[in-house]
């Protein structure tokens, strides 16, 4: 996994430095795909397939046969595509290894900062070579949260729901951030940079690695109502809440008031 993300990361950084020259196609309103994206995915699949030809793939830019019970690499070759295409240096590669309903390994790599967040089942979570844990903050007034904001093409109900959600946080917290890369948002909660994160409308490749990294770091992962989820359920519900242990109930309560 490390070889795959580092090799793909070098390719992304080269393309990021020439982002204005990339050929970009639109695959949906506000949802872009570039040659850099598909090239990175090809690199990752090539490295992983050579190492473990017995494992299948579920990747953002590739077709999938729907068999979620066999071992699978779950790949997002470029999380934060809009940031990338606007020259904003905040994006990541996300890879998880899934065996049925169990996440075995997860890795989120930020090639700009050369930060690699990773975890294995029951072996802890790490940032490069350092063991990580969520923050210990227990007062919302001292906490910073992250979220995603609905954009063009999303149902009107999503916009209204989001306004209600964020209204439960703004009066009570030290701030809410929107950096545009859900995988990194989860990694940042896992290492204590954020105290919590929530978002709706995500896909399995956005969150699979982050779920395992969060849990192995000692954090809480649930749906917005506080119920425990596995990665397949999260992708079906298209929502996730991640936090340190002390602020989980606050986040659930704040979101329930929408």
**What confidence tens digit (pLDDT) does each residue in 182-195 have?**
999 999 999 999 99
Residue 19 pLDDT grade (very low, low, confident, very high; cuts 50, 70, 90)? confident
pLDDT in tens, 81-122: 999 999 999 999 999 999 988 999 999 999 999 999 999 999
Please, how many CA atoms are within 13 Å of residue 119, restricted to the half-sphere of its CB? 28
pLDDT of residue 68: 80
pLDDT of residue 161: 81
Q: What are the backbone angles phi and psi of residue 146, rounded to the nearest 5°?
A: -125, 155
pLDDT in tens, 168-185: 899 999 999 999 999 999
Residue 9 pLDDT grade (very low, low, confident, very high; cuts 50, 70, 90)? very high
CA–CA dist 83, 199 (Å, integer): 17
Torsion sign over Cα 94, 151, 257, 235:
negative
Residues near 130 by beta carbon (within 8 Å), at least 6 away in sequence = none
Helix count and strand count (H, E) for the chain: 8, 14
Which of 1-15, 50-64, 150-164 has the lowest average pLDDT?
Answer: 150-164
Whether 28 shows a pLDDT value over 60: the answer reads yes
| Most confident of the following: 22-31, 37-46, 143-152, 227-236 | 37-46
Which of 33-37, 212-216, 220-224 has the lowest average pLDDT?
Answer: 33-37
């Amino acid at each position: 996994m490390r070889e795959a993300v580092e090799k793909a990361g070098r390719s992304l950084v080269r393309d990021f430095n020439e982002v204005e020259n990339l050929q970009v196609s639109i695959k949906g309103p506000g949802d872009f795909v570039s040659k850099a994206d598909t090239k990175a995915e090809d690199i990752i699949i090539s490295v992983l397939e050579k190492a473990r030809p017995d494992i299948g793939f579920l990747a953002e830019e590739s077709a999938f046969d729907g068999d979620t019970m066999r071992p699978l690499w779950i790949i997002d070759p470029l999380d934060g595509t809009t940031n990338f295409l606007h020259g904003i240096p905040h994006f990541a590669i996300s890879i998880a290894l899934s065996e049925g309903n169990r996440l075995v390994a997860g890795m989120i790599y930020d090639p700009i900062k050369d930060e690699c967040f990773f975890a294995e089942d029951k072996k802890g979570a790490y940032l490069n070579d350092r063991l990580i844990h969520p923050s210990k903050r227990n007062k919302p007034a001292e906490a910073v949260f992250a979220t995603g904001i609905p954009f063009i093409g999303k149902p009107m109900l999503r916009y209204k729901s989001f306004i209600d959600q964020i209204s439960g946080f703004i009066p009570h917290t030290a701030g809410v951030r929107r950096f545009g890369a859900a995988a990194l948002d989860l990694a940042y909660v896992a290492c204590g940079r954020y105290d919590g994160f929530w978002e709706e409308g995500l896909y399995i490749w956005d969150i699979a690695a982050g779920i395992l990294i969060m849990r192995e770091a000692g954090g809480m992962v649930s749906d917005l109502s506080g119920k425990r989820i596995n990665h397949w359920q999260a992708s079906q519900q298209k929502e996730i809440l991640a936090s340190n242990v002390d602020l989980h109930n606050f986040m659930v309560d704040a979101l329930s008031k929408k």
